[in-house]
Amino acid sequence: MVVILGNQPLQVVSWSDTEIVVLVPQGARSGCIGFRNESIEAHRLNQFQQRHDALSQVAEGMACLGRIPAPLPAFPLVRSGAPCTPSNRFAGTLPEIETFLANGLTDLVVAPGTALMLSWDVRNTTAIRIRRTSPHGPAIDLTDPTGTSASLGAFIETRPVDAAYELVASNRCGTATATVAVRLRKVPKLKVEGVEFTQGIQTFLDPVAPDNSLGLVAHKNTVVRIYVSVDLGGFANDELPDVTATLTVAGATFLPINGIKPLSADNLATRAGAIDRITVRPLSQIVREQVDHTLNFLLPAAMCVGTVSPVIKVTAPAVETPSPGSFVMTPTVTAQPSCTFAKKKAMKLRYVRVFHVDGGASYTDLKARESVVRALDLLPTPATDIAPAWLPTWTTGVDLGSWDGRFELLDQLDDQHDCSPSEWLFPWEDECPDDDDAVWIGLTPLIPLKGAAQGLKVFGTSRNTVIADDTSDTIAHELGHTLKCNHVNPNVQCGIAPDKDGSFDSLPDDGRVQERDIFDVFFPGSSKIATHDIMSYACSRWISKYNWTRLFNLF
């Protein structure tokens, strides 16, 4: 015979015909004290085991007959417990908190405006206190409340916050504590508002021009800009951070290039410095000039052929849904736009590195080539036919600080490049070089006024030779002259007096460039500031959509 509390045996300290002293374990719950005959309990256990063995044998026999029985239900043995009477009740030691819930859960996720109700069930207590322990959420601080529930009202904060509530119950032996968590969340509604394909200049979200109306050139690096909006109904300041995406083309999956600058094979491969997620906002708050307001992807030139239909999957951070409970979901949205790349002739460019007899800096071959490649970011032609000229270097002593000196250098290079009419007529006077059908670019850092292009002359050089420094807009400007583009907007200057005798092309808006139309493929992580077309005399230049279209059709 043993003494039990509920159905747990107690350690007997002493036993007499008038008193039984037992040791109650620390933290024992309330219940009834009684006696249990262990011999009878052992007999019950034996009967339970026999029944269990018999059921197992029946299941084994059915399996031998080819009948697969249903799984046996679990019949756990419940040990005998003490019966309860008015006189054998043990009040327990510590307070007992059976439940403490918020809207029926201990970990609750709610949408803004949800009404909260705390409920509790406690025993063996002499006092309780219920209070909010977090800085957020509907407030409550009750001591010994009547009843078993309390209404907190609506959870109406405007950003994602976590609220915590605590119940502390106490009695003669100590205290017990229970907590519940309530998290305020809202599932965002994501939407891909549009996809822009740009190779440096493009129209998009323009009230007077269709989206992506500027032509795209095959075999030319292309940036795909994903415009993603979110609807939060004013919650969290209508901003959703840490939104990212993937772009898949022909089985290859790309991550955003936001934050990579400048773009190179090394940092694109390692994603050094990449910020592959952005903060999404409503469409009305997206600023196209801000490159980090879109998710930007680079399609390598080799993949920009024919018609391309990338699969885009935008993913927001996991958020808890307010209903039916505390499970999580990851909001996603997909899109599959398409674009077509036109096959255009590659501009054949050959560069000559110019040295000066007086010494001074000169460009390395790597620097010269990179400068020419960057210049073609501004022109609608692929950078697939660039190399040193057959004359890779040239040494000169002319005064590059004067126009006369610069044009003399142009004549020197052109004399090595083209066969002039006089050379063709009188070959014994000068050797006539073979025409390589390329545009030569003489590159030197010693030009104070940046660059110059040779004009068309009857008995002189042709328009396929230029000189320039290493800046991309200057090289593109001079190459524009070889494509028969004249200067535009002579009233916009940058410390250089325009050629008063030259011809000027008249472009809409005086050749102004809208910053929202620009995206620098080489520096994808920075906003580009430009005011006028590359053929202008402005300080900040980029190709305008007018000259892009003109040259796109020319190529």
Cβ neighbours of residue 190 closer than 8 Å, sequence gap 6 or more:
228, 229, 230, 240, 243, 280, 314, 316, 331, 332, 333
Identify which of 162, 6, 167 has the alpha carbon closest to the alpha carbon of residue 83: 6
Q: Which residues contact 217 (CB under 8 A, 6 or more apart)?
A: 199, 304, 341, 342, 344, 380, 381, 382, 552, 555
Distance CA 315, CA 312 (A): 10
Cα R_g (the chain), whole angstroms: 41
280, 374, 503 from 378: Cα distances, Å: 30, 8, 22
pLDDT of residue 380: 97
Q: Which of 341 and 233 is assigned the larger pLDDT?
A: 341
Count of H-run helices and E-run strands, the chain: 7, 34
CA 7 remoteness from chain centre: 59
Q: Is the dihedral of CA 267, 348, 212, 247 positive or negative?
A: negative
Please give the angle made by the CA atoms of 425, 430 and 433, to the nearest 5 degrees: 85
The number of CA neighbours under 13 Å toward the Cβ of 402 is: 6
Handedness of CA 296, 331, 275, 271 (dihedral sign): negative
Query: CA 443, CA 359: separation in Å to the nearest integer?
Result: 15
Q: 284 has which bridge partners?
A: none
Percentage of the chain modeled with pLDDT above 90: 51
User: What SS3 state is found at 551?
Assistant: helix
Whether 426 has a pLDDT exceeding 60, the answer reads no
Give 329's pLDDT tier (boundaries 50, 70, 90).
low
The two most distant CA atoms of the chain are separated, in Å, by 143
Q: Where residue 431 falls among pLDDT bands split at 50, 70, 90?
A: low
The residues, ordered by sequence, that sit 6+ positions from 42 with a Cβ below 8 Å of its Cβ are: none
- Determine the Cα angle at 391 with ends 390 and 394, to 5°: 165
- Average the pLDDT over each of 118-127, 219-228, 527-536 and give the range with the smallest value: 527-536
Q: How confident is the model at residue 489 (pLDDT cuts 50, 70, 90)?
A: confident
Q: Which residue has the tokens 């070889």?
A: 482
Query: Is it the case that residue 392 has pLDDT exceeding 70?
Result: yes
- Compute the residue count for the chain: 555
Q: What is the pLDDT of residue 345?
A: 93
CA dist 216 and 381 (Å) reads 9
pLDDT digits (tens, 9 = 90+) for 202-248: 999 988 899 999 999 999 999 999 999 999 888 888 999 999 999 99
Kindly report which listed range (67-71, 169-173, 382-386, 412-416) carries the lowest average pLDDT score: 67-71
Identify which has the larger pLDDT, 392 or 172. 392
Contact 444, 359 (CB under 8 A): no
- 318 token code pair: 């996991």
326 pLDDT exceeds 50? no
